[in-house]
């Protein structure tokens, strides 16, 4: 504000021009105020005419100096009452006003400004004048608001922010930075950012010192491994921005530090799950394919021989069924350990899924040397192993194919080793067999089943059962999975797990799959027309069906002919298909998705894990395989897998369905972990269509609005169902 002494300065000045038009440099008003950073208006209190307006005043109000000679104060201050108050206020001649008053002024272009006006009374040439000092509050309050917002943002953001001065010393840090690194603001200020972040030195030298090399306005970005105050590593992304400031010497830089530990962990896990079997920690089928391709090209280059051994645990299915999947898993881990122990470091061992393993041997001399390895593996399984309280002897069967003797490419080699394995099992198990061309045509049981299946399909002897699926949170029905049932006249009930693979191999699956789709859509249309809230039907698609190329038309046709809306159809796809054909998979799945149906990934986590592809596929739901659910909540392994699948799927915006939920404890665990949907015997076993609808009706009646307590009624429904 105007200091007192200065008022006197023009008080005592001898000559003053009487009109504004005279702008001689000796005008004391001009001398004093012309360049002042605030607007100064000098008016005659009697007439209200302007005696002088400085440059800032002209700029603020939009009039030039000449225009002011034609104006009076009331032209720019429209509030007459306020004007009177201001001009009559009895300020002493030379004292500054106590405070500035908020006033509205009208600019030349008609825009109203909110300003602060400080009035003075001053004596010039023996006359009293009013001096108004005006500050533009519109911009000031806007700046204040901006500053408040910026300060709030600075403290509230998730990312750490540090601001360094021209000497690369930290000037300010926000709360997030302090939280992330464990330093207090006081500990941070005055230090160099690299001393605070302590980035991984090896990688850091590549970057020089980005704070130093940055040009003004430029941005440097990079990921580094930093260290917390306590020493723990922390992967972060840095974004450094050199800030333009008014003085040339001040070279502030703003550094935004984003914590990547969550993402890095997820990426690592995704990679691990994509190429390794989570159960045994062995390479999975995809890594085996990669490895085999490379091994064969090495063998070709060097003119050497390689062997592929396919292994299968004898009677694994029986063990799994009688002792439960948790024991089955334990057994598979044990098997992996034994293989690791007997084989050399450079031999490649993979789990292909289920109880199948594969071994790749490079640089083998002849059949004899491979046979020695076969013996070694059989011997390793000859002594009994303990599983809980039970002791048992595990038998393995092995099929062997040689490169280049039996096959020249990985796929054929795999097929031939598989054929040899089949023969080994047929011939009494616990032995190995080499591939021979005569083995190529295996007929036997498979052939019969195939023929009968074809006949059955034609005669309409197949049935579909539906297994209910409900929301984990409140037991409300969401859908039912269609599961094929085949009642054979002599053999009795044949599991789809047995005949689907045969149908796949023979190509019969295309016809079979089409029938299932049409039947399931028709059944679902019927339930959804019964007055109950519509739910979806889930249909399993085999990889063969998806590859076939007609699947999009087939699905569209099934929807069309049944009248079912696409939102009520879900297609279940298996991981193995996805892993083997990622490119075609994406195309086909996108086309299916475009029809409006939803897609789920079946049997997730069973050894073909394709988490790395998962985010590229338009998948709505992931179904955790029931082998992982079986041991919950006691089995640490199952807990870890389930939790990480839930975390990753949810991160990718997908829902998670748990399969094979059999107990209240499993349900409680899954609900607690945020699992979205439940399927399994605890809710209901697969049912013929009519009983499925009856179950849905009862559940809906008992729990009309789907509440958490609704799960309590589920066992009563089961009892009613068994009655
Ligand atoms: P999936 O798709 O994993 O189906 C779930 C299987 O788990 C069904 O066996 C079901 O009966 C069983 N299950 C459900 N809840 C529980 C539970 O709480 N405990 C236990 N222990 N088991 C439970 P299912 O019906 O024998 O089917 C076996 C497989 O056959 C299916 O496995 C699916 O891969 C295939 N499949 C069945 N129907 C079709 C079909 O129409 N098309 C194709 N392509 N495959 C089918
Ligand atoms: Ca399924
Ligand atoms: Ca499944």
Which pLDDT score is estimated for 95?
A: 46
Top mean-pLDDT range of 11-15, 459-463, 518-522: 518-522
Cα–ligand 1 centroid distance for 475 (angstroms): 21
Q: Would the pLDDT of 59 be above 70?
A: yes
Protein residues placing their CB within 5 Å of the ion ligand 3? 602-603, 659
Q: Would the pLDDT of 214 be above 70?
A: no
What's the rounded mean pLDDT across residues 16-32?
Answer: 51
Indicate whether residue 501 lines ligand 1 (CB < 6 A): no
696 Cα distance to chain centroid: 34
What's the rounded mean pLDDT across residues 115-126?
Answer: 78
Q: 224-261, pLDDT tens digit by residue?
A: 788 999 988 888 888 888 876 555 556 788 899 998 88
Residue 422: how many CB atoms within 10 A of its CB? 19
Which pLDDT score is estimated for 457?
A: 80
Indicate whether residue 206 lines ligand 1 (CB < 6 A): no
Tokens of 211: 């704070």
More confident residue, 514 or 100: 514
Indicate whether residue 324 lines ligand 1 (CB < 6 A): no
Q: Report CA-CA distances (Å) from 31 to 122, 130, 244, 245.
A: 16, 18, 34, 31
Q: Would the pLDDT of 15 be above 80?
A: no
Torsion of CA 669, 673, 675, 679, to 10 degrees: -10
What's the rounded mean pLDDT across residues 571-600?
Answer: 85
Indicate whether residue 519 lines ligand 1 (CB < 6 A): no
Cα–ligand 1 centroid distance for 494 (angstroms): 12
Indicate whether residue 141 lines ligand 1 (CB < 6 A): no
Which pLDDT score is estimated for 406?
A: 92
Q: Would the pLDDT of 309 be above 90?
A: yes
Cα–ligand 1 centroid distance for 109 (angstroms): 78
Q: 319-373, pLDDT tens digit by residue?
A: 777 777 788 888 899 999 999 999 998 999 999 888 889 999 999 999 999 999 9
- Per the CB < 8 A criterion, the answer to whether 486 and 472 are in contact is no
Q: Would the pLDDT of 19 be above 50?
A: no
- Tokens 């599961």 belong to 483
Cα–ligand 3 centroid distance for 622 (angstroms): 10
Nearest atom within ligand 1 for CA of residue 516: 41
Indicate whether residue 540 lines ligand 1 (CB < 6 A): yes
Give the whole-angstrom CA distance, residue 62 versus residue 314: 95
- Per the CB < 8 A criterion, the answer to whether 350 and 281 are in contact is no
Indicate whether residue 568 lines ligand 1 (CB < 6 A): no
Indicate whether residue 603 lines ligand 1 (CB < 6 A): yes
What ligand has the least distance to the C-alpha of 603?
Answer: 3
Q: Would the pLDDT of 722 be above 60?
A: no
Q: Would the pLDDT of 94 be above 60?
A: no
More confident residue, 657 or 96: 657
Give the whole-angstrom CA distance, residue 534 versus residue 529: 8
Which pLDDT score is estimated for 12?
A: 33
Which pLDDT score is estimated for 570?
A: 98
Going by pLDDT thresholds of 50, 70 and 90, the confidence category of residue 4 is very low
**Residues 6 or more apart in contact with residue 13 via CB below 8 angstroms:** 28
Partners of residue 485 on adjacent β-strands: 463
Cα–ligand 3 centroid distance for 648 (angstroms): 19
Best residue for ligand 1 mutational test, from 540, 670, 688 (most atoms within 8 Å of Cβ): 540
Ligand 1, atom 16, residue with closest C-alpha: 660
Q: 131-188, pLDDT tens digit by residue?
A: 888 887 766 677 777 778 888 888 888 899 999 888 889 999 999 999 999 999 999 9
Cα–ligand 2 centroid distance for 301 (angstroms): 44
Which pLDDT score is estimated for 493?
A: 84
Which pLDDT score is estimated for 609?
A: 52
- Tokens 């440099």 belong to 25
More confident residue, 144 or 693: 693
Which pLDDT score is estimated for 651?
A: 83
Indicate whether residue 686 lines ligand 1 (CB < 6 A): yes
Ligand 1, atom 41, residue with closest C-alpha: 484
Nearest atom within ligand 1 for CA of residue 681: 18
Best residue for ligand 1 mutational test, from 483, 512, 544, 695 (most atoms within 8 Å of Cβ): 483
Which pLDDT score is estimated for 397?
A: 92
Q: Would the pLDDT of 194 be above 90?
A: no
More confident residue, 596 or 34: 596
Indicate whether residue 660 lines ligand 1 (CB < 6 A): yes
What's the rounded mean pLDDT across residues 377-391?
Answer: 83
More confident residue, 1 or 671: 671
Q: Would the pLDDT of 483 be above 80?
A: yes
* H, E, C per residue of 497-566: HHHHHHHHHHCCHHHHHHHHHHHHHHHHHHHHCCCCCCCEEEEECCHHHHHCCCHHHHHHHHHHHHCCCH
Going by pLDDT thresholds of 50, 70 and 90, the confidence category of residue 504 is confident
Q: Would the pLDDT of 205 be above 50?
A: no
Indicate whether residue 662 lines ligand 1 (CB < 6 A): yes
Best residue for ligand 1 mutational test, from 320, 464, 487, 496 (most atoms within 8 Å of Cβ): 496
Cα–ligand 1 centroid distance for 286 (angstroms): 24
Cα–ligand 2 centroid distance for 612 (angstroms): 21
Residue 515: how many CB atoms within 10 A of its CB? 16
How many residues does the structure list for the chain?
723
Ligand 1, atom 11, residue with closest C-alpha: 686
Q: Report CA-CA distances (Å) from 2 to 39, 85, 132.
A: 12, 21, 11
Cα–ligand 2 centroid distance for 161 (angstroms): 48
Going by pLDDT thresholds of 50, 70 and 90, the confidence category of residue 277 is confident
Cα–ligand 1 centroid distance for 483 (angstroms): 6
Q: 596-650, pLDDT tens digit by residue?
A: 999 999 988 765 455 566 777 889 999 998 988 998 898 887 888 888 888 888 8
Indicate whether residue 538 lines ligand 1 (CB < 6 A): no
Which pLDDT score is estimated for 6?
A: 34
What ligand has the least distance to the C-alpha of 571?
Answer: 2
Ligand 1, atom 45, residue with closest C-alpha: 540
Ligand 1, atom 31, residue with closest C-alpha: 497
Which pLDDT score is estimated for 663?
A: 95
Cα–ligand 3 centroid distance for 314 (angstroms): 23
**Residues 6 or more apart in contact with residue 492 via CB below 8 angstroms:** none
Indicate whether residue 666 lines ligand 1 (CB < 6 A): no
Indicate whether residue 625 lines ligand 1 (CB < 6 A): no
Tokens of 289: 């394919």
- Mean pLDDT of the residues in the chain: 82
Q: Would the pLDDT of 407 be above 60?
A: yes
DSSP 625-636: -HHHHHTTTT-H
More confident residue, 268 or 521: 521
- Per the CB < 8 A criterion, the answer to whether 296 and 308 are in contact is no
Indicate whether residue 24 lines ligand 1 (CB < 6 A): no
Indicate whether residue 510 lines ligand 1 (CB < 6 A): no
Nearest atom within ligand 1 for CA of residue 682: 18
Going by pLDDT thresholds of 50, 70 and 90, the confidence category of residue 7 is very low
């Amino acid at each position: 504000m105007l200091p007192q002494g200065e008022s006197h300065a023009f008080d005592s000045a001898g000559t003053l021009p009487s009109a504004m038009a005279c702008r001689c440099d000796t005008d004391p008003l001009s001398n004093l105020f012309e360049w002042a950073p605030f607007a100064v208006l000098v008016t005659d209190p009697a007439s209200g005419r302007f005696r002088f307006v400085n440059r800032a005043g002209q700029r603020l109000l939009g009039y030039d100096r000449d225009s002011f000679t034609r104006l009076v104060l009331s032209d720019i201050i429209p509030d007459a009452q306020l004007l009177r108050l201001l001009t009559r206020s009895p300020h002493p001649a030379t004292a500054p006003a106590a405070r500035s008053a908020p006033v509205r002024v009208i600019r030349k272009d008609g825009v109203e400004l909110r300003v602060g006006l400080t009035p003075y009374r001053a004596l010039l040439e023996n006359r009293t004048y009013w001096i108004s000092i005006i500050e533009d509050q519109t911009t000031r309050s806007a700046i204040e608001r901006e500053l408040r917002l910026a300060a709030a943002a600075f403290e509230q953001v998730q990312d750490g922010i540090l601001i360094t001065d021209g000497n690369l010393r930290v000037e300010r840090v926000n709360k997030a930075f302090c939280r992330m690194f464990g330093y207090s603001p006081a500990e941070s200020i005055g230090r160099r950012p690299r001393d605070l972040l302590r980035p991984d030195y090896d990688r850091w030298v590549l970057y020089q010192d980005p704070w130093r090399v940055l040009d003004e306005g430029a941005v440097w970005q990079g990921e580094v491994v930093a260290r917390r105050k306590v020493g723990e590593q922390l992967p972060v992304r840095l974004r450094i921005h050199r800030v333009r400031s008014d003085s040339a010497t001040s070279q502030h830089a703003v550094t935004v530090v984003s914590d990547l530990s969550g993402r890095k962990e997820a990426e690592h896990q995704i990679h691990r799950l994509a190429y390794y079997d989570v159960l045994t920690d062995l390479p999975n089928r995809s890594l085996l394919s990669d490895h085999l391709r490379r091994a064969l090209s090495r063998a070709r280059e060097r003119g050497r021989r390689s062997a592929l051994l396919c292994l299968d645990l004898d009677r694994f299915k029986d063990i799994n069924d009688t002792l439960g999947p948790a024991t089955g898993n334990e057994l598979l881990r044990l098997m992996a350990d034994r293989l690791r122990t007997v084989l050399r470091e450079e031999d490649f061992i993979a789990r292909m899924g289920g109880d199948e393993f594969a071994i790749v041997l490079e640089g083998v001399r002849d059949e004899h040397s491979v046979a020695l390895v076969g013996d070694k593996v059989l011997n390793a399984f000859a002594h009994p192993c303990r599983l809980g309280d039970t002791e048992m002897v595990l038998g393995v069967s092995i099929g062997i194919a040689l490169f280049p003797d039996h096959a020249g490419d990985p796929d054929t080699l795999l097929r031939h080793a598989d054929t040899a394995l089949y023969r080994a099992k047929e011939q009494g198990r616990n032995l190995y067999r080499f591939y021979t061309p005569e083995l190529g045509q295996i007929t036997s049981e498979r052939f019969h089943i195939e023929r009968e299946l074809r006949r059955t399909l034609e005669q309409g002897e197949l049935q579909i059962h539906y297994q209910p699926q409900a929301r984990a949170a409140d037991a409300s029905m969401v859908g039912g999975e269609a599961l094929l049932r085949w009642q054979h006249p002599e053999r009795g009930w044949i599991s789809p797990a047995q005949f689907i693979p045969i149908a796949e191999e023979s190509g019969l699956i295309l016809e079979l799959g089409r029938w299932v789709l049409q039947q399931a859509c028709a059944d679902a249309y019927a339930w959804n027309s019964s007055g109950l809230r519509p739910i979806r039907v889930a249909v399993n698609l085999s990889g063969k069906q998806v590859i076939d190329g007609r699947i999009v038309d087939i699905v569209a046709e099934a929807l069309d002919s049944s009248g079912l809306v696409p939102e009520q159809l879900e297609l279940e796809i298996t991981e193995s298909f996805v892993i083997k054909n990622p490119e075609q998979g994406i195309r086909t799945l996108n086309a299916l998705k475009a029809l409006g149906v939803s897609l789920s990934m079946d049997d997730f986590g069973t050894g073909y894990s394709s988490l790395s592809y998962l985010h590229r596929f338009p998948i709505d739901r992931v179904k955790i395989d029931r082998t992982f659910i079986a041991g919950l909540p006691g089995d640490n392994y199952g807990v870890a897998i389930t939790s990480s699948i839930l975390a990753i799927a949810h991160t990718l915006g997908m829902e998670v369905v748990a399969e094979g939920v059999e107990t209240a404890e499993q349900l409680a665990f899954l609900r607690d972990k945020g699992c979205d949907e439940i399927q399994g015997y605890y809710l209901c076993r697969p049912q013929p269509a009519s009983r499925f609808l009856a179950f849905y009706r009862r559940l809906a009646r008992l729990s009309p609005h789907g509440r958490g307590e609704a799960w309590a009624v589920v066992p009563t429904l089961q009892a009613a169902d068994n009655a």
